[in-house]
Chain A
């Protein structure tokens, strides 16, 4: 049997391929949007997994330090470490800063940690060159995407920092590039004011300021101890909010990325609907262009099923070809996105399923047009 769809496509191959490429770019953007969402989920877990601690102790009544502002005293780490069942504890700070790079600035998320403490947030597997921090002052470990290299000098506040290590793939839960500085430097950066501000504060009678604050205390629990029990003890006696790793993960996904993921999900859904409408319009137009031929085919006796099959096959082929172009397009452009984009095969298959369904739906109007076509219209001119 003659394959009508194949012959029709062969006849207008260039037009068909260009159309598929256009729709493909739209589908490619759908894949990228899915990848951005996946990237957000991965980013949320990077710092949490690199730290790999059992407990997060934060300001009472807050979801800190990622979902809500949290301040606790630095020396809380010693109290926590002395508790039964706690193996290690360390004070930690988080803050967004801008690193000067030439005439522009790079937004980063700085992790301040106790260099001599028992918990190092720098995952050795991510360290591509150099070392972790070794002294309390003026050393910085940066992520490669910041553009800084080993031994670069960076002006931060009143001081100059030296890059002593470069990591790869370190990002905050918000997708910002991570840098690591000592806890003392982090506190200095957070609480040191300009000379003019200090003068003004003194004139207002503000003489002292407490710089020994941190955003959280993190702790590991000794093997054989129940994490929940230790967390319960801290909540009970120290008036702090305590989250286990799983709870912190839930906080991050629920409060930090939930709205963003919903936004991306909605945007993706709209794009799929737009793609369906576009495929539908293209197929409808292609069918309208063939109405005379369709009337002739019906007049000479071709059954509707043969003509409908041609329309549906062309729609499906357009969808599949567009899907292939979409994959190529998304894989070509995703590395150029500033934040992490994770393209996953199951997402691509899910989109493929959607494209097939959308293509069939898209062909309905054209098929209706075919069924209603008047064979007598072939007679005349």
Chain B
């Protein structure tokens, strides 16, 4: 197994319903994303982007296939662990269309929630959170509530939250959809930068063609399969 691989998917399939309502959404999809790569997943609505994202994010179970995160095989026609939530907590970061920060936690607490769940002590997790806030230029906002920050600032906090546990892959679901062009470009630059600097693979669902130049690879879903453009 190549140490440079962040995620490897082999022949995963996903279908819903049965009889007349049977729909096959993903069929024998295979791809590999290396560490440090920013990959875009582009496809029209209803072709299974979110389904694919939920499968590689260990949220929804594929019907069949194999999947590795880093060197660890996590799926082989079934989850190889009951603790898929632990895999998400330790190996995967999520960025959403909206920032989806916890509204009743201030910025620093939003960041340290996951490390503390992973039993990292408060001092270490706060130091790591402050480093990230500084990296994203919002170090002075650690005591602020999400409602007190702008959309762009909140999205940067959300990216910081996705990074705080040093994940191997980040799954981003249209992270620029709620932002204006300038802020979208800023976010793309940040994603590109962290992919390279943190050696993390980023898979980003997007409908915005203007963001594609920032991506290393572009994946499409065609005939229920993944193809690279």
- Report which A residues bind B (CB closer than 8 A): 1-2, 4, 7-8, 10-12, 292-293, 296-303, 306, 375-376, 378-381
Q: Are A10 and B104 in contact (CB under 8 A)?
A: yes
Which of A12, A300, A376, A380 touches B89 (beta carbons < 8 Å)?
A300
Q: In the complex, which residues of chain B have a beta carbon less than 8 angstroms from the beta carbon of A378?
A: 94, 96, 100
Which of A7, A292, A299, A375 touches B105 (beta carbons < 8 Å)?
A7
Question: Would you call B196 an interface residue if the criterion is a C-beta within 8 Å of the partner chain's C-beta atoms?
Answer: no
- For A293, the closest partner residue in chain B by CB is B102
- For B162, the closest partner residue in chain A by CB is A300
How far, in angstroms, from A296 to B100 measured CA to CA in the complex?
7
Q: Are B59 and A12 in contact (CB under 8 A)?
A: no
Question: Would you call B97 an interface residue if the criterion is a C-beta within 8 Å of the partner chain's C-beta atoms?
Answer: yes
Supplied contacts A299-B94, A378-B94, 4 more A-B pairs, CB within 8 Å? A7-B105, A300-B89, A378-B96, A378-B100
How far, in angstroms, from A58 to B87 measured CA to CA in the complex?
84
24 A-B contacts (beta carbon < 8 Å): A2-B109, A2-B112, A8-B104, A11-B103, A12-B104, A293-B103, A293-B104, A296-B102, A299-B57, A299-B59, A299-B94, A300-B94, A301-B85, A301-B90, A301-B92, A302-B85, A302-B113, A303-B85, A375-B59, A376-B54, A378-B100, A379-B50, A380-B173, A381-B97
Question: Would you call B181 an interface residue if the criterion is a C-beta within 8 Å of the partner chain's C-beta atoms?
Answer: no
Question: Would you call B9 an interface residue if the criterion is a C-beta within 8 Å of the partner chain's C-beta atoms?
Answer: no
Q: Are B173 and A2 in contact (CB under 8 A)?
A: no
- For B205, the closest partner residue in chain A by CB is A379
Q: Smallest CB–CB gap between B5 and chain A, Å?
A: 22
Q: Are B59 and A2 in contact (CB under 8 A)?
A: no
Question: Would you call B134 an interface residue if the criterion is a C-beta within 8 Å of the partner chain's C-beta atoms?
Answer: no
Q: Are A2 and B113 in contact (CB under 8 A)?
A: yes
How far, in angstroms, from A115 to B89 measured CA to CA in the complex?
88
How far, in angstroms, from A1 to B116 measured CA to CA in the complex?
6
Q: In the complex, which residues of chain B have a beta carbon less than 8 angstroms from the beta carbon of A293?
A: 100, 102-104
Which of A292, A306, A379 touches B173 (beta carbons < 8 Å)?
A379
Q: In the complex, which residues of chain A have a beta carbon less than 8 angstroms from the beta carbon of B112?
A: 2
Which of B57, B86, B117 touches A306 (beta carbons < 8 Å)?
B117
Q: In the complex, which residues of chain A have a beta carbon less than 8 angstroms from the beta carbon of B50?
A: 376, 379-380
Q: In the complex, which residues of chain B have a beta carbon less than 8 angstroms from the beta carbon of A380?
A: 50, 97, 173
Which of A7, A296, A375, A379 touches B104 (beta carbons < 8 Å)?
A7
Q: In the complex, which residues of chain B have a beta carbon less than 8 angstroms from the beta carbon of A12?
A: 104
Q: Are B100 and A298 in contact (CB under 8 A)?
A: no
Residues 122-176 of B at the A interface (beta carbon under 8 Å) = 122, 145, 161, 173
Question: Would you call B225 an interface residue if the criterion is a C-beta within 8 Å of the partner chain's C-beta atoms?
Answer: no
Residues 69-94 of B at the A interface (beta carbon under 8 Å) = 85-90, 92, 94
Q: In the complex, which residues of chain B have a beta carbon less than 8 angstroms from the beta carbon of A299?
A: 57, 59, 88, 94
How far, in angstroms, from A296 to B102 measured CA to CA in the complex?
8
Q: Smallest CB–CB gap between B172 and chain A, Å?
A: 11
Q: Are A298 and B85 in contact (CB under 8 A)?
A: yes
Q: Are A301 and B59 in contact (CB under 8 A)?
A: no
Q: Are A301 and B173 in contact (CB under 8 A)?
A: no
How far, in angstroms, from A301 to B164 measured CA to CA in the complex?
13
Closest 10 pairs (CB-CB, A-B): A301-B89, A11-B104, A301-B88, A8-B104, A296-B100, A1-B116, A301-B85, A7-B104, A379-B173, A376-B54
Q: In the complex, which residues of chain A have a beta carbon less than 8 angstroms from the beta carbon of B185?
A: none
Q: In the complex, which residues of chain A have a beta carbon less than 8 angstroms from the beta carbon of B15?
A: none
Which of B97, B103, B114 touches A301 (beta carbons < 8 Å)?
B114
Question: Would you call B60 an interface residue if the criterion is a C-beta within 8 Å of the partner chain's C-beta atoms?
Answer: yes
How far, in angstroms, from A4 to B113 measured CA to CA in the complex?
9
Residues 179-207 of B at the A interface (beta carbon under 8 Å) = none
Q: In the complex, which residues of chain B have a beta carbon less than 8 angstroms from the beta carbon of A375?
A: 59
Q: In the complex, which residues of chain A have a beta carbon less than 8 angstroms from the beta carbon of B87?
A: 301
Most chain A CB within 10 A, of B89, B90, B100, B105, is at B100
Q: In the complex, which residues of chain A have a beta carbon less than 8 angstroms from the beta carbon of B96?
A: 296, 378-379
- For B57, the closest partner residue in chain A by CB is A299
Q: Are B59 and A300 in contact (CB under 8 A)?
A: no
Question: Would you call B53 an interface residue if the criterion is a C-beta within 8 Å of the partner chain's C-beta atoms?
Answer: yes
Q: In the complex, which residues of chain A have a beta carbon less than 8 angstroms from the beta carbon of B54?
A: 376, 379
How far, in angstroms, from A35 to B35 measured CA to CA in the complex?
71
Q: Smallest CB–CB gap between B115 and chain A, Å?
A: 10
Q: Are A303 and B117 in contact (CB under 8 A)?
A: yes
Q: A2-B112, A299-B88, A303-B85 are in contact. Are A376 and B60 (CB under 8 A)?
A: yes
How far, in angstroms, from A302 to B161 measured CA to CA in the complex?
13
How far, in angstroms, from A10 to B104 measured CA to CA in the complex?
8
Q: In the complex, which residues of chain A have a beta carbon less than 8 angstroms from the beta carbon of B97?
A: 380-381
Q: In the complex, which residues of chain A have a beta carbon less than 8 angstroms from the beta carbon of B161?
A: 300
Q: In the complex, which residues of chain A have a beta carbon less than 8 angstroms from the beta carbon of B117?
A: 1, 301-303, 306
Q: Are A2 and B105 in contact (CB under 8 A)?
A: yes
How far, in angstroms, from A378 to B102 measured CA to CA in the complex?
12
Q: Smallest CB–CB gap between A13 and chain B, Å?
A: 11
Q: Smallest CB–CB gap between A363 and chain B, Å?
A: 18
Q: Smallest CB–CB gap between A337 and chain B, Å?
A: 41
Q: Are B98 and A381 in contact (CB under 8 A)?
A: yes
How far, in angstroms, from A19 to B70 measured CA to CA in the complex?
49
